[in-house]
Structure 1
Amino acid sequence: MAHVRTYNPRVRVGNWKEDVTLEEENLQNFILQKDRGELTVQKEGALRQDILQPVSLSVSQDGFLHFGDTIMLVNSGGGEHDPCVLSIIADSSNIASHSQTNPVPHLLGPLQVGGSHSMTPCVRNAFIITSVDGTSDGELLRYDQSFALRTTAGFAGELFLASDHRTFLKCAKKSRLQELSLVEEFDFLCWWKVIYFDPQERLENEGYPVQVNSKVLISHCKTNQCLAALGNHILWTLFGKEYELTAHTFLDSHKAERDNNHWLFFTAHPANQNESLMQMQLAETVITDEPRENQEDTHVKECS
């Protein structure tokens, strides 16, 4: 009878000594890695804890954006997809434990970015408006003025949002369009500029201050492609399902940019610095654009 066992589990057959020794070594290595915090589940848990730490966004007292402000960059969504936030995509392999310049654990570039649905300000989705031409912090950011988007200091590693022309080997993972990434080295590939939302009033608003909580376009200075969120291209990340982000200008039949290219700079609410303006608006289910007349009046009052 072939199905009848001829020995019990205590019988040692074959290379039993080698098997027992190998199991003991594997158990010892597992315990050692656990004590050091080197297990994959421990690394991912530490990553989540560090990258989801709350961040206080800047408060705009005059309603305009300034160099040095900490903001969230939100795609307004529309009929094609839900609103999403520019966010870092990273895993445990992107963490550097220490280096000569930074002994604190931090993220290393290049990193991917994605469109997260979480509107809570944290290390992952907070960016700093950085000057590229020597403009000092606190100065107004104006339409068609070059700037850079930098991650926060500390764990985020102060990386810069960059892009370049797509090639056969370097392009977005899903859509195959122009790729976005966070890099350590700052150069011309990290230069962006804000363009006024309405094409018919674009020239008239050139040089005006950029207002918070108003739709704008974010154009890449080298390629002239606008930052876009793709609701039909899904990325599965450590943080769940997110939209793919790329640098590509989507035009409708009237040669105007579509909802994919519409972005809003959000700062903290003056009454509650732990809550962004986006969260307040989602709670009220109202998102409004400031008319240009009010913007000009505010600018005149500020100049006077």
Structure 2
Amino acid sequence: MFNKRTSTSGRDYSPGVLIGNWNEDVSLEEDCLKDFLYRRERGELLIQRSKKLKETLYKKEQLSISKDGFIHFGDTVLLVSPDNNKSPMENLPAVSGNLSLAVNPDEASVHTSAKLPVPCGLSAFRSVTPIGRNAFRILSTEGEAMGEPVRFGQNFGLGTTGGFPERMLFLASDHKTFVNKAKKSSLQSVFMTDELSYLASWQATFLDPQYRMEYEGFPVPSNSKILIIHSHTNQGLAVPRNFWIWTYFGKEYEVNCHTYLDSHKAEEDKNYWVVVTGNPSDELTTMFDRPPPPSEETRVQNSELHTET
């Protein structure tokens, strides 16, 4: 006699009883197991792809070291929105501190893919440590040789670093539309795309408007405040600092492409950027980590002390 049992699963007999298309069920389970083992060996499981992308995003990157004080095509750098040096209460509702530009894939992509999605979002977060998320490579868009200095008014591209060897994405923007706009500020958005076109072309502009024409064509200094202007729309890359967004990585800040002007028609600090290079005395840190040079008063005091001794 069969060992009959009552069950809500739809099966009235114990697992040892062969009923229905039992042979097909066994074959299907074996095929599923073989497929699982095959995909695991090739690293194609969702959990493996998710882990690979997260490891790439958090992987430490080494920045290029500028020997002449300028930035060059092919350099790996950070794009940092510098602190405006205001007190927290004076700066409200905006956030203080240095913010670095970083790729910001949506949470679904982080969990299901080993590659950055296209298009991919951007944000700014409180860190100047070079990792896969916030390290960018300066690219030639008009045939300039790698190693040549980037000049004011010259077009260049910004791409993700070697952490994504299978597909490099490029920083881009386009005119604001009803659908394509920044979520919080509703201004012109920025995004990462896989096509190095005119939408991914940028220019460095000298900070002081009074000397802007004189510096046209001069090499762009590294670790100094500049403006980064989108060549197609003539709008400046900016971090408003008063629009924050929740991301897979936590609370971060919106990045858009808009030129903020003060009452004197000069760009505000929301448009200021510093192209940060590596620290020559320590390859794992940046120029932001180097101690500031002594002030003139300190040098005079040290000189007097040395003379007395």
Q: Which moved more, 1:236-245 or 1:75-84?
A: 75-84
Aligned partner of 1:177 in structure 2 is 187
Once residues 184 and 293 of structure 2 are traced to their aligned partners in structure 1, the CA distance between those partners, rounded to angstroms, is 30
Aligned partner of 2:102 in structure 1 is 87
Following TM superposition, by how much is the alpha carbon of 1:68 offset from its aligned partner in structure 2, in angstroms? 0.8
Name the aligned partner's letter for residue 93 of structure 1.
S
Distance 1:287 1:207, change over 3 A: farther
Name the aligned partner's letter for residue 87 of structure 1.
A
Once residues 219 and 182 of structure 2 are traced to their aligned partners in structure 1, the CA distance between those partners, rounded to angstroms, is 32
Following TM superposition, by how much is the alpha carbon of 1:38 offset from its aligned partner in structure 2, in angstroms? 7.2
1:221 aligns with 2:221: no
Distance 1:92 1:74, change over 3 A: same
Once residues 94 and 180 of structure 1 are traced to their aligned partners in structure 2, the CA distance between those partners, rounded to angstroms, is 20
Which of 161, 164, 169 is the matching residue for 2:174?
164
1:75 aligns with 2:81: yes
Larger C-alpha radius of gyration, 1 or 2? Answer: 2
Aligned partner of 1:4 in structure 2 is none
Aligned partner of 2:91 in structure 1 is none
Once residues 287 and 12 of structure 1 are traced to their aligned partners in structure 2, the CA distance between those partners, rounded to angstroms, is 82
Aligned partner of 2:210 in structure 1 is 200
Aligned partner of 1:231 in structure 2 is 241
Cα offsets for 1:157-178 (capped at 9, x unmatched): 3111000001001111221111
Q: Is the 8 A contact 1:213 1:266 kept in 2?
A: yes
CA RMSD across the alignment: 3.2
Once residues 174 and 245 of structure 1 are traced to their aligned partners in structure 2, the CA distance between those partners, rounded to angstroms, is 10
Aligned partner of 2:136 in structure 1 is 127
Distance 1:40 1:233, change over 3 A: farther
Once residues 55 and 169 of structure 2 are traced to their aligned partners in structure 1, the CA distance between those partners, rounded to angstroms, is 19
Following TM superposition, by how much is the alpha carbon of 1:54 offset from its aligned partner in structure 2, in angstroms? 1.1
Q: How many residues align structurally?
A: 262
Q: TM-score, normalised by structure 1?
A: 0.76
Distance 1:96 1:137, change over 3 A: farther
Following TM superposition, by how much is the alpha carbon of 1:271 offset from its aligned partner in structure 2, in angstroms? 0.6
Q: Is the 8 A contact 1:178 1:248 kept in 2?
A: yes
Once residues 194 and 143 of structure 2 are traced to their aligned partners in structure 1, the CA distance between those partners, rounded to angstroms, is 19
Once residues 131 and 183 of structure 1 are traced to their aligned partners in structure 2, the CA distance between those partners, rounded to angstroms, is 16
Q: TM-score, normalised by structure 2?
A: 0.75
| Identical aligned residues as a percent | 41
Following TM superposition, by how much is the alpha carbon of 1:151 offset from its aligned partner in structure 2, in angstroms? 1.0
Aligned partner of 2:68 in structure 1 is 62
Structure 1 unpaired stretches of 5+ = 1-10, 98-104, 289-304
Structure 2 unpaired stretches of 5+ = 16-27, 87-93, 295-309
Following TM superposition, by how much is the alpha carbon of 1:106 offset from its aligned partner in structure 2, in angstroms? 3.4
Q: Is the 8 A contact 1:177 1:246 kept in 2?
A: yes
Following TM superposition, by how much is the alpha carbon of 1:95 offset from its aligned partner in structure 2, in angstroms? 8.6
